[in-house]
Amino acid sequence: MIRIGANPICWSNDDMHEIGGNIPLETCLSEASEIGIEGMEKGHKMPSDGPALKAKLAEYGMVFVSGWYSTFLLERDADAEFAAAQEDLKWRKEAGAEVLIVCECTRTVHGTKSAPLSTRPVLTDAEWAVFLPRMTRFAELVKGFGLQLVYHHHMGTVVQTEEEVDRFMTGTGPAVKLLLDTGHITWAGGDAVSVAKKYAGRIGHIHCKDVRDEVAKKAAAENWSFLDAVVEGVYTVPGDGKVDYVNVFKSVPGYSGWVVIEAEQDPEKANPKKYVTMGFNNLNRFLKEGGLK
């Protein structure tokens, strides 16, 4: 079963709280519900108590999808990470999540507006050898807790490019699933269709955002940070950029789960309700043409 969700980052940014900071959570949830969104990921304006979060979303006829968790497995082993994650795991499960979205954030630059993407961390062979088995072990522990780990490759982090996704997926065990983010892989110079085909059997979650190619090229040419590029509109909703969604969906014929609209933009420049409605309508069409709905 395919369900279309959204992330509140379409309304209020989690890395720069001033972007959309004036938009009440209730506006976000009521608009998402009116559009037809079935579930929401976690945003910073939502309760962090599981039952309270579940109840808040239920007021608007929606369920909880999941939320980002930053791992630091280059700095601590899997058992230490699992111990540190207990409260995060607990409230997610209580809120109704089935997956845990993780991203390795050791030395990341994606949340630092002054740090160009060119300064992002790149792992050595020795670091990969430490990181990959730790991620597999952490995923196994998370699975024992009752959640499926899905790994979010992300601009500005240690798993950004298609080659790094390949190394990550090849080096981790079956307990690790991939969160395919069409926008991040495309901006990183990868091919979303190629990644979907390669890892179709291990994709456990899909984030759908599109890329404005002219902004991505300017960001690279002028050495922008991730957040500078976001503010300038590098991301948009599905169907408003260069991603070939129909062929992405054709490449994952057995996929069952969430497809989440997660197109962070400046709401002053891109009205959230207008753009999420556009993305929702486009996604429904692409899913049907791609054979998933």
Half-sphere exposure of 180 (CA within 13 A, CB side): 29
Residues of the chain with pLDDT > 70, as a percent, come to 100
* pLDDT band at residue 17 under the 50/70/90 scheme: confident
Average of per-residue pLDDT values in the chain? 96
Tokens 């109704």, located at residue:
96
- Specify the pLDDT at position 293: 85
Our CA angle for 127, 131, 132, nearest 5°, is 120
Q: What is the pLDDT of residues 171-216, one digit of tens each?
A: 999 999 999 999 999 999 999 999 999 999 999 999 999 999 999 9
Q: What are the two backbone dihedrals, phi and then psi, of residue 29, each rounded to the nearest 5 degrees? A: -70, -40
pLDDT per position as a tens digit, 108-119 = 999 999 999 999
Quick one: which of 28, 25, 26, 21 has its CA closest to 6? 28
User: Residue ranges of the domains in the chain?
Assistant: 2-289
3-state helix, strand, coil in the chain (%, to 5): 45, 15, 40
Predicted pLDDT of residue 134: 98
Q: Across-strand partners of 199? A: none
Using a pLDDT cut of 90, give the percent of the chain over it. Answer: 94
Edge-to-edge strand order for the sheet containing 63-64?
63-64, 39-40, 2-6, 257-261, 203-208, 177-181, 148-152, 99-104, 68-71
Q: In CATH, which of 1.10.3210.10, 3.20.20.150, 3.80.30.20, 3.20.20.80 is domain 2-289? A: 3.20.20.150
Give the mean pLDDT of 255-276: 94
| Residue 237, both tokens | 């909703």
Question: Which residue type is seen at 236?
Answer: T
